Structure 1
Amino acid sequence: MAELLPWQYALIGLVFVWSGFVRSGLGFGGAVLALPFLLLVLNKPLVFLPIISIHLLIFSSWIAFKGWRERKSQDVAGSNIDWHYLGQSMKVMIIPKLVGVFGLLTLPAEILSSIIFVIVIVYAIGYVLNRPFRSKRPWMDNLFLALGGYVSGTSLIGAPLIVAVYASHVAKHQLRDTLFVLWFILVAIKMVSFMIAGVDLQLIHQLWLLPCAFIGHLIGERFHRYIISNETPLFFRVLGSVLIAVSVVGILRQFALFIQA
């Protein structure tokens, strides 16, 4: 990023503030909602993906530990993480994840992404209308989880599809922290692939981008406490609205890439 101008650095810093806010506020979307804007500044995904991955590893660990410590200090029964569903879903996602990471199966990225975003929009509209889609067929949820796992292996855009399924099975107060543990596992696998491939992890840029993400994280924490303390319909409407926004941005980006081609 040495060739960038000062105003471009400023824009990248603001996008990482936004990324931290979204990630902390909802528990997902930090990569999908940030990447389109980052690529407008510098169209090199492999510059930003390692930075986002490291941020996710740091903040997911911190938030999960913080939630555990708060519940322990308050002597609250139960866990802030749904370990049962996390383990159950990982059994479905792990093989597609590894397949995606190592590139053992090649599917057209444009088609795959478009299918995911359409599915997510269907889920999200139900949340916005307070009529969340509840699959009565476990195989359907497993199909979506497997697809989300595969895409998270090839890139970092599988989160919306995974979240849409998780929101139907994990309690509201456990959803964010459970997702953070899941992201930690999935991103750790991705980071191993970066290191094996010799990708530059951009560690020098963590010195100024990590504080930017931290500012957004603090703002997102306040937002999360607000929506979690309100009635459930509000939480799911916010969740659904963000999922739709993510999907629309993704579809528009795929369309723009198609036009350029």
Structure 2
Amino acid sequence: MNDIATCRTPDRRPVVGIIGNMNILNAEYAVHAGGVMNSEAVAQVAGCLPLIIPSDPRFVSVAELLDLCDGFLLTGGRPNVHPSEYGEEETPAHGDFDRCRDAITLPLIRACVERGQPFLGICRGFQEVNVALGGTLYPEIRDLPGRMNHRMPPDGSLAEKFALRHPVRFTEGGVFHRLMGAPEVMTNTLHGQGIARPATRIVIDGHAPDGTPEAIYVRDAPGFTLSVQWHPEWNAAGDPVSRPLFTAFGQAAADWARARRGVVALRA
């Protein structure tokens, strides 16, 4: 089987902008990076061309990204959304931040929702979608009464850290139920923060057993806005939960690209 999926336009694969994260390589060299598993999921399952975005307003603008890309993968990342973005004071519990990423992703999400341009939110990206539309976050889920520890295990191999750890139950007959073909699925969990107050337009369509929101979409949005708190990019081609999510996202990006090509052709 060809290891690049066939969901593409006649001219080229749809371009998916993968939101990069700032990292320090070898303790001194600043880089904008994206996990290889993100690129694999976008290329091999979504059938799109992965393009890592330097998420810093000094180098790119939201308008340029909207024009360049057909969809966006809002990746996970160790830094958290700054609490000032949802009206709260910074505390040690909020962890580390990436204000440059905040400055790109939050307006980008709002623009995509308005335009109908597709995005898939993962972990931090899931939280960004809620904040971008007016919601709030808990700084540390495991400190809440009755909640489990959703953080990544500190030890073990990558396979052990990304192993399936808890079920997520979807709304009966809802978007995720229909997409997955099942009312409940098993997922990994590698996050510290989570949704506190959902934004008005956010529909929580799936929960962990402790009540933590795990699957959302934007109500009445004209495009693909599915976002999940877990990490479906791990083993995306082989996991029965990850594969339909990335396949549907890739189709949405292909539809956007095809529609845009049609507009360009008409203008020409």
Quick check: TM above 0.5? no
Greater relative contact order, per chain length (Cα 8 Å cut-off, separation 6+): 1
Give the helix-richer structure, 1 or 2: 1
Higher fraction of strand: 2
